[in-house]
Structure 1
């Protein structure tokens, strides 16, 4: 009997799942016809019912009452997993929240399969948490426990860039020395690997995988840096107050610029502090905007505006970011040059990790024949320019940016749990 298995790419920004069934691998429509679902959840205030993906995002931005969360993956391995958070007045731990989201995704896969799937390969970044091996081990253990809770009995893990390589390998003719750059919302991961369509059914690929590196930098960090550089100054960031011309506290602005921390700002204590400082502010017009964001709980809307600007500036030289939820007809013009300057340090960290991967693999950049770009953050103009500079002799493959990891994980699950597989064209 053929063993049914799947691969789940639980991403910081988006999630996908693909099924391996008797030699066929295909992506699952996880939200209507889409094969990706935003990694977001919204708990409705009236009954605490959970909604997921685009539905969750739309309910939140339609100003429905409830608790909205995204970028949940970044909590794994951190102290926040133990602390938990308030959801509509009740305490809830993040393990339960992530479990609810991934159970929703598994239910979609089970429905397509017509049975409960018990075998899974879960994707994971090379490092969940930078420079903290204990937190890294803890994060995988937390994700494994969640996989067990939602019904998987046989669980394995694979690095996400390796999975992306597997997804592209079946389309190759001949052999290629490749580097995979998987730039997601929370991490950037790299693998130098020897690819060949003759190797797609090898159960042991250790000799083909030359090196893996990763850094906890991704699209969410681009959102943060752009927000701090272009948007936060318009709501009082780095303004001053009082007779001594002191700088206003920066922590609320930094937390407003991180998806996983926004909800922690809506407390009476923080709002009272901002109100008190407003009376002494030297820029009451701008600092009052911060108070309005906190009182109206529109921090996610503010950060979504930064994300929208980031996406627009990938192919535009200037973009007007509309912030009319703060004031009527209020917008902030942002130039691409400012965006690229704000993320220059983050792009260098990504580039350094790629170079480190080459060094650990013992190969020169000129020897790389194929660069596989996956993850939404590879759309950023300065990122593409950097990779073309690093690998001038390589072909660039960037199809299926948001789903190649899920496909590759399913392929890996077939090799680990099932029989011979061929990847179906999608």
Structure 2
């Protein structure tokens, strides 16, 4: 049975196959083996992944100012076409601003963009979201991307793909979680990932720690049972694993640890330390030299939150602040950034700047798009100082990892760095100060997929995803497939009744509660009730 290795990362995905005695990377998009972990669902029903998703999303965003509604999931936005400068929407006078229109029909949104979908696995309270009247469980959203990856692999290989070894982080839980909380979070996320694999059309799957997969590259270059450290530093997480690596078979993990720190945090820091001044941070208001409102600067830390500045309330505040500002151009920059939907592109430019700092002591940042022109010299020394707190956390976690295994740095035979953020020189330097010339830098984007491909070919680790998915998860996914207007069964005491699903009561992000209307035979009236999604049963032939 053909089995592939899939690195389903927070930021990027890649796929590998071991055949003919070597690792073969599978092109996933435009001949590239790396596919961004992005999903776009449009109002017209288009489903796009990767670079195509962000291109379509940005295309729909352009042309008019936008209003967003954000939810708990960082990856999720609702995009609203809304002219915030329309006279019937906003009015202003010397006493302030009044808002006459705030609520819009969600179906007016041209698109929904999902980024870092994998992070939703660790939130046990996050079941999914409704997109244009259709409810998607978190597992289903992941399956849309995972299923497209499977289909593209099949197209390339010319045969059906039924099985995969999929990477997973060492821990899904935040480092502050208690042991019991961490264990429960990990169990839930592990099971949900297997459920997503099943929904994506895979029949057999296994999950493997991503840093352990990366260590497969070191076999043959270490003494028998040599100690190796995998340092997987991506866009959203850092995973470390210390293991004994035999010449054959699986590495034996001695200790593992993870941090919810990644390159995205570095990008946000660059924005805060180098660019906020271009958007009003150092501007004062009126003759009283009042400070610039922090609430208008906080959304700039992440590109996903920048469009909140186009809400009618924030847009009106920006216009008033611009009128009072002693440096109106910087406020104009902020308005242009938000209204022209330039947040994503600006952060892409920041990431490119960060990459250049890997080889340059300082770099010229230039952004000139649709009326926004920003130029700034960025020095590596200042960047390193800015991310100092993150580096301290990483170094402390590394020391704790070695201590927990009872191993000194001198006893480690090799260190393998992978993940896009491993290219940052100061991170490499930190490891080299500890381990010297034992540090090796693997391919930042495909090392894990390659290791997973080797595991897929050499080890009997697969299990049926149908059997691995618990009955509770299966019941929940079945319930989440319920559509409005469908008739379902539910229990009331010893009675089995049927009710019509009229709506979900839990909000956009956690629609776990179904509102049902049913005929009560005891009082001879139609009444309403609420049932958790796992407590209803779909009829064999709905309707």
Report the TM-score when normalising by structure 1: 0.84
TM-aligned CA deviation for residue 155 of structure 1: 2.7
**Structure 2 CA distance for aligned equivalents of residues 62 and 174 of structure 1:** 54
SS at match of 1:19: strand
Residue correspondences, number: 407
**Structure 2 CA distance for aligned equivalents of residues 164 and 323 of structure 1:** 36
Q: Which structure shows the bigger proportion of residues in strand conformation?
A: 2
**Structure 1 CA distance for aligned equivalents of residues 139 and 311 of structure 2:** 23
TM-aligned CA deviation for residue 336 of structure 1: 1.3
Work out which of the two has the higher radius of gyration on C-alpha atoms and give 1 or 2.
2
**Structure 1 CA distance for aligned equivalents of residues 359 and 145 of structure 2:** 33
Is the counterpart of residue 308 in structure 1 residue 364 in structure 2? Answer: no
Q: Which moved more, 1:331-340 or 1:265-274?
A: 265-274
SS at match of 2:255: strand
Relative distance call for 1:240 and 1:71 in structure 2 (3 A) is: farther
Relative distance call for 1:290 and 1:269 in structure 2 (3 A) is: same
- Structure 1 unaligned runs (5+)? 419-426
* 1:51 corresponding residue in structure 2: 48
**Structure 2 CA distance for aligned equivalents of residues 397 and 159 of structure 1:** 19
**Structure 2 CA distance for aligned equivalents of residues 341 and 85 of structure 1:** 42
SS at match of 1:76: helix
**Structure 2 CA distance for aligned equivalents of residues 167 and 279 of structure 1:** 60
Is the counterpart of residue 385 in structure 1 residue 429 in structure 2? Answer: yes
* 1:317 corresponding residue in structure 2: 361
* 1:424 corresponding residue in structure 2: none
**Structure 2 CA distance for aligned equivalents of residues 242 and 145 of structure 1:** 57
* 2:331 corresponding residue in structure 1: 287
TM-aligned CA deviation for residue 68 of structure 1: 4.9
* 2:278 corresponding residue in structure 1: 234
Q: How does 1:10-25 map to 2 (within 5 A)?
A: 10-20=8-18, 25=23
Over residues 145-171 of structure 1, what are the superposed CA-to-partner deviations in whole Å (9 max), with x where a residue is unaligned? 221110122232221111111233256
Paired residues of 1:187 and 1:218 also in contact (CA < 8 A): yes
Relative distance call for 1:174 and 1:79 in structure 2 (3 A) is: closer
Q: How does 1:349-364 map to 2 (within 5 A)?
A: 349-364=393-408
Structure with more contact order per residue of length (Cα contacts < 8 Å, sep ≥ 6)? 1
Is the counterpart of residue 403 in structure 1 residue 446 in structure 2? Answer: yes
Q: Which structure shows the bigger proportion of residues in helix conformation?
A: 1
Q: How does 1:18-417 map to 2 (within 5 A)?
A: 18-20=16-18, 25-43=23-41, 47-58=44-55, 65=62, 68-78=113-123, 81-82=126-127, 84=129, 95-130=139-174, 131-132=176-177, 133=182, 134-169=184-219, 172=222, 174-196=224-246, 198-199=247-248, 201-202=249-250, 205=251, 208-237=252-281, 239-241=283-285, 247-251=291-295, 253-262=297-306, 266-325=310-369, 327=371, 329-392=373-436, 394-414=437-457, 415-417=459-461
TM-aligned CA deviation for residue 14 of structure 1: 1.5
TM-aligned CA deviation for residue 10 of structure 1: 1.1
**Structure 2 CA distance for aligned equivalents of residues 135 and 303 of structure 1:** 31
TM-aligned CA deviation for residue 295 of structure 1: 1.1
TM-aligned CA deviation for residue 44 of structure 1: 5.7
SS at match of 2:324: coil
TM-aligned CA deviation for residue 77 of structure 1: 2.4
Relative distance call for 1:305 and 1:407 in structure 2 (3 A) is: same
TM-aligned CA deviation for residue 315 of structure 1: 1.0
Paired residues of 1:178 and 1:193 also in contact (CA < 8 A): yes
TM-aligned CA deviation for residue 251 of structure 1: 4.8
**Structure 1 CA distance for aligned equivalents of residues 117 and 7 of structure 2:** 13
Q: Which moved more, 1:73-82 or 1:383-392?
A: 73-82
- Structure 2 unaligned runs (5+)? 63-110, 463-543
SS at match of 1:148: helix
TM-aligned CA deviation for residue 400 of structure 1: 2.0
TM-aligned CA deviation for residue 329 of structure 1: 4.7
Relative distance call for 1:351 and 1:254 in structure 2 (3 A) is: farther
Is the counterpart of residue 9 in structure 1 residue 7 in structure 2? Answer: yes
Relative distance call for 1:269 and 1:149 in structure 2 (3 A) is: farther
Relative distance call for 1:81 and 1:27 in structure 2 (3 A) is: farther
Paired residues of 1:70 and 1:259 also in contact (CA < 8 A): no
Paired residues of 1:266 and 1:297 also in contact (CA < 8 A): no
TM-aligned CA deviation for residue 61 of structure 1: 6.4
**Structure 2 CA distance for aligned equivalents of residues 85 and 240 of structure 1:** 42
